[in-house]
Structure 1
Amino acid sequence: MTVSATAPDGVPEVTEGADLAELLLTALTALDADALGDGDVAVVTSKVVSKAEGRVVTGSRDEHLAAETARVVARRGPTTIVRTHHGLTLAAAGIDNSNVELGSAVLLPLDPDASARRLRVALLERTGRNVGVVVTDTAGRAWREGQTDIAIGAAGLVVAESFAGRVDAHGNELAVTAPAVADEIAGLAELAQGKLGGRPFAVVRGRADLVLPAGEHGAGAGSLVRAEGADLFGYGAREAVVRALRGEPDDVAPFGAAVEADELVGLLHAVLGVVATTDRHVVEVPRGAGERAVVLAFAHGWLPVAGHDDDADLRFARSTP
């Protein structure tokens, strides 16, 4: 199998209202009349999508960070990692102040999957070619230095393959293997585009098996985002401690689903040395366990049951049914 990425030069500065399909096709035609074929994947950076959609704003990243943030995940020095309204976890909400006029910043597209769908439809109408489309942005990775491009928008593409239930050459059944192929395509395209090359478009060829029939846009890159609470790292290590100590009900979701009652009973004994009891729906802890029991329970999805007098034992119920 051969998979290739081609990124054309000669794309002019993109401004609000720009026709991205026309810009891409013009740049490709200068390379080769057949530079875009059925089954190819057209890749475009989120920055030029945002510029074309009028998402350039005046001011610094910090001035716009709060509005683009659903919640803060972690802060370390000048770096703020947030969950955006798209569900993406990115430094500074993906707001970029490079390759833009001084004093301006570029926000992410409002709906990257919708942006990808519009570009796919335009390319089909003008060329008759059925292609997939991926909108990319740059992201860091937990446990890894450096950054790579990922898919934040997609249309007409299988964004993740599923190998669950298949068997390898040695007869081992694969349980959870699910390559995020849209992200892999984004990373491959970035190698051809380069960070400073002025090449916001790329065409990836060789995975036509991932491209959906015309008119079928697929689940989009949004389907690659884990739901709130499904990520094992909903907060940074320090932030998790702070959120648990605060104990605000709105902060409980990123900690994930509530543990089973028996697990909480075991944790209370292992961490605090207290003997708790449970009927599976309520966990009861001696009042002497104090606030540490409240914090431990909160971090595991259990909240105090209100309405009992101060001398009674602490009682906890799941934060969600």
Structure 2
Amino acid sequence: MEVFAVEGLPEVRPGDDLSALIDEHVDLQDGDVLTVASTIVSKAEGRHADLADFDPGDRAREIAARIGDVAGERKDPRFAQAVIEQSEEIILASPFILAVTRFGHITVNAGIDRSNVPGSDLLLLPEDPTASATGLCKALDVPVIVTDTSGRAFRQGQRGVAVGWAGLPACRDWRGEYDREGREMTATVEAVADELAATANLVTGEGSDGLPVAVIRDWEFGDHAGHDALFRDRESDFVRQALADYEYDP
């Protein structure tokens, strides 16, 4: 398969027609998968915010103080309040905030970005990234994955992940198929939306690269079952359950 970043996109502003901007800068083909960074989706959808917009409550002040004690520096409780308001649940309050977003993604600080946000303090994740992907998918007639970068438990570093998708299943389900020895696979589910997001991140880069869109060409889902249950539910997520009872003790 071929993977390449889309060059020349301008700075995206609130109200911009993102599908039209992308269409002007790349000739999409049948079978392409388009990956779009959540940052430009958020910018087009006006998801900018300022710290002054958030009035910290007692919980936000407590969280900021706890993280500040660990870090050895003062933390702004207004940022903690922003994270609380963008979250369905706070799983960890220190040494960092691990939050469940309202659309089911679990990430640090509810995915709120503080870099590359001209004219504002913060950039919030899209309210519904799958709905955003669906709109782009319909307009551009190719599958779309809205991506973000996220850290990984047990490993250093970040990688691209899917936070929304449309036009393809998020997961390739190998259960019921057979390996080379004829054994039936009973557990293997491949998170292809995440794998494609991570692949795109290799060419879009981080920081000042300014390449938020990539095209994945000549990749095929294959003759497999698929489903969209990428985010574990609470009942089957044993790590999440364990973290609910965890208290950080420096």
Normalising by structure 2, we get a TM-score of 0.81
Number of residue pairs matched? 218
- 1-side partners of 2:215 and 2:121: how far apart? 29
Where in structure 2 are the equivalents of 1:219-258 lying within 5 Å? 223-235=229-241, 237=243, 239-241=244-246
Query: Contact between 1:38 and 1:208, CA under 8 Å: does it hold in 2?
Result: no
Deviation, 1:92, is 0.2
- Does residue 120 (structure 1) correspond to residue 152 (structure 2)? The answer is no
**Counterpart residue number, 2:205:** 194
**Counterpart residue number, 1:260:** none
Query: Contact between 2:203 and 2:214, CA under 8 Å: does it hold in 1?
Result: yes
Deviation, 1:72, is 1.3
Where in structure 2 are the equivalents of 1:28-107 lying within 5 Å? 28=26, 35-59=27-51, 61-77=79-95, 79-101=96-118, 103-107=120-124
- 2-side partners of 1:210 and 1:37: how far apart? 18
Per-residue deviation, residues 99-135 of structure 1 (Å, max 9, x unmatched):
01365211111111110010011113xxxxxx11000
Per-residue deviation, residues 262-290 of structure 1 (Å, max 9, x unmatched):
xxxxxxxxxxxxxxxxxxxxxxxxxxxxx
Deviation, 1:191, is 0.5
**Counterpart residue number, 1:292:** none
Per-residue deviation, residues 63-93 of structure 1 (Å, max 9, x unmatched):
411101211112333x211111111110000
- 2-side partners of 1:39 and 1:103: how far apart? 37
Query: For the structure 1 residues 87 and 4, does the alpha-carbon distance in structure 2 shift closer, same or farther, using more than 3 Å as the test?
Result: same
- 2-side partners of 1:111 and 1:80: how far apart? 21
Query: For the structure 1 residues 202 and 226, does the alpha-carbon distance in structure 2 shift closer, same or farther, using more than 3 Å as the test?
Result: same
Letter aligned with residue 144 of structure 1: R
Normalising by structure 1, we get a TM-score of 0.64
Query: Contact between 1:161 and 1:180, CA under 8 Å: does it hold in 2?
Result: yes
- Does residue 108 (structure 1) correspond to residue 116 (structure 2)? The answer is no
**Counterpart residue number, 1:176:** 187
Query: Contact between 2:179 and 2:185, CA under 8 Å: does it hold in 1?
Result: yes
Structure 1 gaps of 5+ residues are 29-34, 125-130, 212-217, 243-321
- 2-side partners of 1:61 and 1:107: how far apart? 11
Per-residue deviation, residues 180-201 of structure 1 (Å, max 9, x unmatched):
1011110001111011310111
Structure 2 gaps of 5+ residues are 52-77
Deviation, 1:94, is 0.4
- 2-side partners of 1:55 and 1:81: how far apart? 20
Query: Contact between 2:234 and 2:241, CA under 8 Å: does it hold in 1?
Result: no
- Does residue 135 (structure 1) correspond to residue 146 (structure 2)? The answer is yes
- Larger Rg over CA atoms: 1
Deviation, 1:97, is 0.9
SS in 2 for 1:72: strand
- 1-side partners of 2:30 and 2:49: how far apart? 37
Q: Residue 176 of structure 2: which of 165, 168, 171 is its match?
A: 165
Deviation, 1:241, is 4.7
Greater relative CO (CA pairs within 8 A, separation 6+):
2
Deviation, 1:210, is 6.1
Query: For the structure 1 residues 27 and 61, does the alpha-carbon distance in structure 2 shift closer, same or farther, using more than 3 Å as the test?
Result: farther
CA-based RMSD:
2.0
Q: Percent identity?
A: 38
